[in-house]
Amino acid sequence: MFDPRALRADFPILERRVHDKRLVYLDNAATSQKPRQVIQALARYYECSNANVHRGLHTLAEEATEQYEGARRKAARFINASGPDEILFTRNTTEAINLVALTWGRANVRAGDEILITEMEHHSNLVPWQLLCQATGARLRYARICPDGTLDLDQVAALIGERTRLVAMTHMSNVLGTINPVGGVARLAHARGALLLVDGAQSVPHLPVDVRALDCDFLAFSSHKMLGPTGVGVLYGRRELLQAMPPLFGGGEMISRVEEQFSTWNELPWKFEAGTPNIADAIAFGAALDYLSALGMEAVREHERQLVAYALEALGQVPAITIYGPPDPAQRGGVVAFNFGGIHPHDVATVLDYEGVAVRAGHHCCQVLMRTLDIPAAARASFYVYNTEEDVDALVEALNSVREVFGSVAGRPL
């Protein structure tokens, strides 16, 4: 097990002060901080090997290509894909999901077909399916969540029917923290001839994820939430599916042969990577994968399970707090969304920021979930490898300042 206090030395930003307080960074579900190893990989690439990939015959071009394709191999190993050709680099999770909706979706979904998602989806795993359904006449259906914030699996099973083409589901909710049993859902979907797309934006950075063990058909995730740079995401797809899918963008790199009136496509994965890719950030993402692999994803998960258990206990003692999501830390990741004493979460977050504590507040791109929970917004603390129990204590302490600033709500003392 790694020592989160020792790790902090790798993250230069954690040394800075905010409003003259120690920075307590608890907004990791939005984006994680970057270790020196990743920042240096980015600088090293630009200082030593910068060139375009796949096309030059000179030394720099070969180095850049080798490093870029090396990052793809690391990503394949990280999720146990059967090969690097199943890894497409995109800009982020959102683009990866849209790619499936626009290529596989347009080719395979017809009027009367059904796409099943859940009430806890981030807009990036919801709006692309709305657009696909609007374009094709298919129907978008929702699996409900139970009062404890878990999925009703019996209802999921009942909703997957003859017309279901795809189940698209988050592996871990960015609001409730709920970890969904996607392996079980894959079995239910496949038994009815449907595919499963997993939104791994919150799971791949925080838990061991093995696409072959889960037997999912697509998995999307983002580098920036797992210590890597912004601007790089991954779409994993099963080889046969990717081979059958038409490309999304046309241009350089993605073709095999171009005639005047038609073209043929490059092999996987390049068929889906038109134009010059985000070479530098992909290479630095490879450094982030090395960093996480060295920690071990089992250990990352265990650290966050312990931290979220501590946070649920400590925050649970705060008067007038409402915490969302499953009470059992084994069922949830390192995300704790809450409301406090009827104070608007934006006001809570603003006062916390004065105490150096960075949290996110708002609807967290989950407006459908907010409606189900019957709240307009929530504040959210989210943890990562460098967070400690002291950070949780700082959050609880800073909530006391919120109480002092607001004193009472609707005439009732807080």
User: Catalytic residue numbers?
Assistant: 365
Q: Kindly report each contact of residues 13-21 with a partner whose C-beta sits within 8 Å and lies 24 or more positions away, as own/partner.
A: 14/386, 17/356, 18/353, 18/356, 18/358, 19/353, 19/354, 19/355, 19/356, 21/354, 21/355, 21/356
Number of chain positions touching ligand 7TS (CB under 6 A): 17
What is the Cβ-side half-sphere exposure of residue 42, based on CA atoms within 13 angstroms?
A: 17
Given the complex with ligand 7TS, which of 4 and 231 has the nearer CB atom?
231
Given the complex with ligand 7TS, which of 34 and 364 has the nearer CB atom?
364
User: What does the CA dihedral 284, 289, 295, 297 come to, rounded to 10 degrees?
Assistant: 150
Question: Which one-letter DSSP state was computed for residue 141?
Answer: E
Rounded Cα gap, residues 374 and 339, in angstroms = 12
Given the complex with ligand 7TS, which of 64 and 179 has the nearer CB atom?
179
Tell which positions 176-205 bind ligand 7TS, by CB under 6 A: 199, 201-202
Tell me: does residue 222 bind ligand 7TS (CB under 6 A): yes
Given the complex with ligand 7TS, which of 199 and 391 has the nearer CB atom?
199
- Bridge partners for 168 per DSSP: 197
Rounded Cα gap, residues 163 and 327, in angstroms = 35
- Select from 32, 93, 150, 278 the one that contacts ligand 7TS (CB under 6 A): 93
Given the complex with ligand 7TS, which of 238 and 364 has the nearer CB atom?
364
Rounded Cα gap, residues 247 and 286, in angstroms = 25
User: What does the per-residue mask of binding to ligand 7TS show for 345-384, with x meaning CB under 6 A?
Assistant: ---------------x---xx-------------------
- Select from 28, 65, 92, 266 the one that contacts ligand 7TS (CB under 6 A): 92
Tell me: does residue 174 bind ligand 7TS (CB under 6 A): yes
CB of 26 to ligand 7TS, least distance (A): 12
Q: Cis before residue 205, ω within 30 degrees of 0?
A: no
Tell me: does residue 122 bind ligand 7TS (CB under 6 A): yes
State the residues that interact with ligand 7TS by CB under 6 A: 29-30, 92-94, 122, 124-125, 170, 174, 199, 201-202, 222, 360, 364-365
